[in-house]
Amino acid sequence: EAGVAQSPRYKIIEKRQSVAFWCNPISGHATLYWYQQILGQGPKLLIQFQNNGVVDDSQLPKDRFSAERLKGVDSTLKIQPAKLEDSAVYLCASSHNMVSYTFGSGTRLTVV
Partner 1 sequence: DQQVKQNSPSLSVQEGRISILNCDYTNSMFDYFLWYKKYPAEGPTFLISISSIKDKNEDGRFTVFLNKSAKHLSLHIVPSQPGDSAVYFCAAVGGGSQGNLIFGKGTKLSVKP
The site for partner 1 (CB under 8 A) is made up of 4, 6, 31, 33, 35, 40-45, 48, 55-56, 91, 93, 95, 98-106, 108
Instruction: State in angstroms the smallest separation of the CB of 78 from partner 1.
Output: 20
How far apart CA 78 and CA 81 sit, in angstroms, is 9
Nearer to partner 1, 23 or 82 (CB): 23
Q: Which is nearer to partner 1, 46 or 82 (CB)?
A: 46
CA distance 5 to 13: 22
Residues belonging to the chain: 112
**Kind of pairing between the strands at 53-56 and 5-7:** unpaired
When the beta carbons of 43 and 111 are compared against partner 1, the nearer one is 43
